[in-house]
Structure 1
Amino acid sequence: MEVTALCIQIFMNVFVLLSTQACLSYTVQKPAFPIISPDRLQFFEYESVSVNCGEDEDMNAWRVMRKLYQMSPKNVSEGCSNPAPSCTIHLTFERHSGEYWCENDEGERSHALNISVTAGAVILNISALPVKEGSDVTLRCINKNTKKTQISDFYKNGSHLGIYYKTGMTLSKVSKSDDGLYKCSISGAGESPESWLAVCKAKEEEGCYIFL
């Protein structure tokens, strides 16, 4: 009886261990998007930006991949140049602008995010991740020289939306119709790059959450 009880106990321990591993493998799922910190798509040169796909170091871990819009100088080793679960670019330059996504050894990919680094004096503070339908979203135009929101002109898909003051432009209860390319400009300082604002139509829609 003691042997039987011991076998049952061992079986239960193995079952619990396997169940725990299954739960852990479930939580390390395909990331819907890389996580960018600070949480925005536009940066001034010489800022620091981190991109994260997870902390799992095993061979099937998700790693940060990128496709730059410009060719980097030869023999330059920089942050995010080698695939890793997370990476940091301590000093950004325009050449770091491009698509960033997560990918594993099996070739599975997350959605990509487009990071823009500008040598100019104006950026648009816009969320890196999609925003939920029905939420309020505020876009702010930042002047590098003051690091503050100023009176700004805002544009969507090239069309002028209006002039907004220090609080920025707030989109109330956003819907899919608010999807689009946004930029801003500050008189005397210049214009920001364009970045895509994505709106999730429903909770179940792919890409509404960090993990699918």
Structure 2
Amino acid sequence: MAMKQQVGSLSAGIKLTHSGTLKSCFVSPLVFVSVSPRQLQFFKYDHFCVSCEGEKDMDGWRVIQRRRDGKVCSEPVSSLILSGFMVSVFVIYISPQVHQHMTPLCVSAAFPETHSGTYWCETGLGANSSDIIINITTGSVILESPAVPVTEGDSATLICRSKSPGMTEFYKNDVLINNGIEGSMTLLDVSVSDQGRYRCKVRRSGESPESWLTVRALSPPHQEQSAPLLSVFTLVRLLIVGAPYLLSTIILGLIYQDRRSERRALQASWARGARRKVTMQIIT
């Protein structure tokens, strides 16, 4: 009872880990999977949380994990052995606040094989976010890199963490790109060419797993995209509003031209009649 009073409305379930779950086809650009701390590699027993974030209503979104062995779990908060089967315990917290119905997936990475893998956000309506790969290592070196895509023109910092500091080397796609004793490097004015696989190595300590750095290309300014659409809309509006006036002007012009032609014809007829009268008077 005390636990219910502390966390509010809480429901828990136990679900056998299974394989064969497929990701949805539609990828939503407005929702992404977030990690706290914002890194993709952790030492064994480190604590981290994974959650779904976005700009719209987050109702129905949940965290999904595909483990290294291919098994897929839905919001695994912790793992345990029950009657010889690996099961995942998932907890859903119903918050009194609007649009916030699930707690982040938080784990203490005691089982690298269980907690390492691919994470993404998904709904039951066929939408999902892009995914990230989290590595839990039993070694003594990890690489801290951005856990979310880096926008072109921004900077990205890579930090090599080691239990025994030493000379550090950074690699991109297996090519040495930097070394020194600082243990960190910053990529300035990032471009799409900086996207790739990164890892680091500390002498006499070992090397980290690889992490993928994603670079998001800049989209054209919003005003440049909307200006042509605005011009077309304005033109259509002017045509709709001005069409009745234009049509009435044309009709009045045609009526005026017709009456003017009739008047000229009548004047010409009067002139011919007057000339006949003058001629007849002269003859008589």
Q: Deviations over 1:50-95 (max 9, x none)?
A: 011159xx99510000111136863343568xxx562111234321
Greater Rg, structure 1 or structure 2?
A: 2
1:40 alignment partner in structure 2: 39
C-alpha RMSD of matched pairs (Å): 2.8
The 8 Å contact of residues 65 and 118 in structure 2, kept in 1 or not, is answered as yes
Percent same amino acid among aligned pairs? Answer: 39
Q: Which structure 1 residue ranges, 5 or more long, are not aligned?
A: 1-28, 205-212
1:18 alignment partner in structure 2: none
> Is 2:196 the partner of 1:177?
no
Instruction: Supply the distance in 1 between the matched residues of 2:105 and 2:192 (Cα, whole angstroms).
Output: 32
Q: Which structure 2 residue ranges, 5 or more long, are not aligned?
A: 1-27, 72-78, 92-101, 221-284
Q: Which has the higher contact order (CA 8 A, sep 6+)?
A: 1
The 8 Å contact of residues 97 and 117 in structure 1, kept in 2 or not, is answered as yes
2:167 alignment partner in structure 1: 151
Aligned partner letter, 2:191: S
Compute the displacement of 1:97 (Å): 1.1
Of 82, 89, 94, which residue of structure 1 is paired with 2:107?
89
SS of aligned partner of 2:86: coil
Instruction: Supply the distance in 2 between the matched residues of 1:163 and 1:54 (Cα, whole angstroms).
Output: 35
Compute the displacement of 1:116 (Å): 0.8
Compute the displacement of 1:177 (Å): 0.3
> Is 2:52 the partner of 1:53?
yes
Of 125, 130, 147, which residue of structure 2 is paired with 1:128?
147
2:131 alignment partner in structure 1: 112
Aligned partner letter, 2:104: S
2:88 alignment partner in structure 1: 77
- Stretches (4+) displaced over 6 A: none
SS of aligned partner of 1:129: coil
Instruction: Supply the distance in 1 between the matched residues of 2:58 and 2:155 (Cα, whole angstroms).
Output: 40
Name the structure with the higher helix share.
2
The 8 Å contact of residues 126 and 140 in structure 1, kept in 2 or not, is answered as yes
Please identify, of 161-170 and 62-71, the stretch whose mean Cα deviation from structure 2 is larger: 161-170
Aligned partner letter, 2:138: A
Instruction: Supply the distance in 2 between the matched residues of 1:54 and 1:34 (Cα, whole angstroms).
Output: 6
Change (3 A) 1:202 1:49: same
Aligned residues: 169
The 8 Å contact of residues 79 and 88 in structure 1, kept in 2 or not, is answered as no
